[in-house]
């Protein structure tokens, strides 16, 4: 399978879903964008890495990882978004130490936050981009017309809302209406999707019962 390099286009904040963000990756040499729903902490960490002038007074988690890696001569060579299952992206961090390469599994948001700090390239496979990529340009036989910023924001907003509905990431979710059996199923799904924030809220509701 061929790899496609991605650049970070930016981070979009949902105007309707509190605490929901979409990281927008753009295809190098193409028109497709790959939106990935991320949490508020990861969005903040990526935004800080993008804004070179912002320096937190104390190291964030990803900064600590970078400092730790530098101390022990570990280099992140690249990040590969290698799998998409039920709307969840899975990534690998390709590291090298003493000319020995290691592959580490990671959440995509964490992997990209580290890739920025190591100035490492980000890749995905063509079949993932074919499946989840979106065109923010409309084409015709005569010309290509770029979608307006308002239309682009509407597309991203729709994706965020759809993801929140499916994975129950909305911070206003009322878990009291669900049975214990339903909550346990939702908890298992949240853990499987590595959505630990939602899992913690569901666990708290179960504890109340």
Whether 90 is covered by a domain: the verdict is yes
pLDDT of residue 153: 64
* Number of domain units in the chain: 2
Q: What is the CATH number for 38? A: 3.10.690.10
pLDDT of residue 12: 84
At residue 28, what are phi and psi to the nearest 5 degrees?
-75, 125
**189 and 159 both lie in a single domain:** no
**157 and 179 both lie in a single domain:** no
pLDDT of residue 177: 83
**159 and 201 both lie in a single domain:** no
Cβ neighbour number for residue 70 with a 10 Å cutoff: 12
On the CB side of 36, CA atoms within 13 Å amount to: 32
**135 and 159 both lie in a single domain:** yes
Whether 130 is covered by a domain: the verdict is yes
* Residue closest to 26 by CA, chosen among 148, 123, 158, 110: 123
Residue 133 corresponds to which tokens in the numbers above? 């990529």
**191 and 136 both lie in a single domain:** no
pLDDT of residue 100: 96
What kind and span of H or E run contains 144? strand 144-146
Whether 77 is covered by a domain: the verdict is yes
Q: Structural domain of residue 186, as residue ranges?
A: 175-208
What kind and span of H or E run contains 200? helix 196-208
**60 and 30 both lie in a single domain:** yes
pLDDT of residue 198: 76
**180 and 102 both lie in a single domain:** no
Whether 170 is covered by a domain: the verdict is no
pLDDT of residue 145: 41
pTM: 0.69
Question: Could you state, in chain order, the average pLDDT of each consecutive group of 10 residues for the chain (209 residues)?
Answer: 92 68 92 90 90 79 96 97 92 96 96 97 96 68 46 61 43 73 87 72 76
**179 and 138 both lie in a single domain:** no
pLDDT tens figures, 8-35: 998 887 655 556 788 999 999 998 999 9
Whether 156 is covered by a domain: the verdict is yes
Whether 61 is covered by a domain: the verdict is yes
**74 and 7 both lie in a single domain:** yes
Whether 169 is covered by a domain: the verdict is no
**104 and 182 both lie in a single domain:** no
pLDDT of residue 165: 37
């Amino acid at each position: 399978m061929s790899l496609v390099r991605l650049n970070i286009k930016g981070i979009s904040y949902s105007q309707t879903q509190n605490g929901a963000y979409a990281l927008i990756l753009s295809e190098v040499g193409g028109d497709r964008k790959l939106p990935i729903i991320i949490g508020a902490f990861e969005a903040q960490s990526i935004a800080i890495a993008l804004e070179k002038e912002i320096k937190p007074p104390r190291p964030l988690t990803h900064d600590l990882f970078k400092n730790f890696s530098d101390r022990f001569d570990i280099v992140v060579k690249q990040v590969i978004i290698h799998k998409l299952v039920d709307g969840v992206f899975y990534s690998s961090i390709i590291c090298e130490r003493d000319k020995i390469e290691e592959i580490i599994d990671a959440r995509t948001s964490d992997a990209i936050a580290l890739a920025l700090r190591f100035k490492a390239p980000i890749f995905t496979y063509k079949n993932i981009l074919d499946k989840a990529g979106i065109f923010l340009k409309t084409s015709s036989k005569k010309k290509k017309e770029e979608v307006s910023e308002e239309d682009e924001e509407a597309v991203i907003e729709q994706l965020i809302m759809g993801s929140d509905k499916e994975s129950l990431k909305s911070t206003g979710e009322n878990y009291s209406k669900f049975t214990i059996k339903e909550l346990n199923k939702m908890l298992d799904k949240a853990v499987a999707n590595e959505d630990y924030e939602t899992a913690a809220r569901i666990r708290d509701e179960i504890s109340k019962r």
